[in-house]
Amino acid sequence: MLFLDIISADYLTFVITENLQNTKIYWDVAGVSSALFSIETCGRVDINFTTNLNHVFYEVRLGDCSNQCTTIQKVVSNNTESTPTIAKVDLNPLNCSRFKELWISWKNTANRLEVGTGHVLNQDGFVAMDNMENDAIVERMTIQSSLSAKWKIGMLLTSISW
């Protein structure tokens, strides 16, 4: 696991250039409401959000559908829902030869998980899921690439506890 010490900042930014193929990277994102990404890869990228509810998590797949689409899925692990909730758009924002800027915002107060392009949060959104659980709080984010990838990641802190 990767642990970061925060001194004072609005954004945490770090670069991962190693091959993350089939390697999961975990971040504690308690108190964070969004992340800015720059990603360069030819493969699929999975970003999972674990919540405080043991049976509910959310998964964003960039380059899903054989690199043709992006999906967001709500996963309920205790089988209380028979049909998974999926939001899908026929757009893959990733690129093999250059970094592509993306943002992901998870607003627990609005029950919304949204993905967009560019470096301005909540602008140019292209896929969203509006039915996050009312009492679900995103606690951890996990990233994984199906092929090698280069990442630049910044996270907006909503509160810092000292």
Taking residue 20's Cβ as centre, other Cβ atoms within 10 Å add up to: 21
Helix, strand, coil % over all residues of the chain, rounded to 5: 0, 50, 45
Q: Is the pLDDT of residue 7 over 60?
A: no
pLDDT surpassing 50 at residue 95? yes
85-89 sheet: strands from edge to edge: 25-28, 138-145, 45-51, 56-63, 69-76, 85-89
Domain ranges, ordered by start, for the chain: 11-129+141-157
Per-residue pLDDT averaged across 99-103, rounded?
92
Element (H, E) at 75: strand 69-76
Q: Provide the whole-model pTM.
A: 0.80
What pLDDT is stored for residue 2 in this prediction?
39
Mean residue pLDDT of the chain comes to 79
Would you place residue 59 in the very low, low, confident or very high pLDDT band (cuts 50, 70, 90)?
Answer: very high
Confidence grade of residue 49 (pLDDT, cut at 50, 70, 90): very high
Whether the CB-CB separation of 155 and 11 falls below 8 Å is answered with yes
CATH for 11-129+141-157, options being 2.60.120.200, 3.90.1150.10, 3.40.30.10, 3.30.420.10: 2.60.120.200
57 Cβ contact partners less than 8 Å away, ≥ 6 residues apart: 48, 49, 50, 51, 75, 77
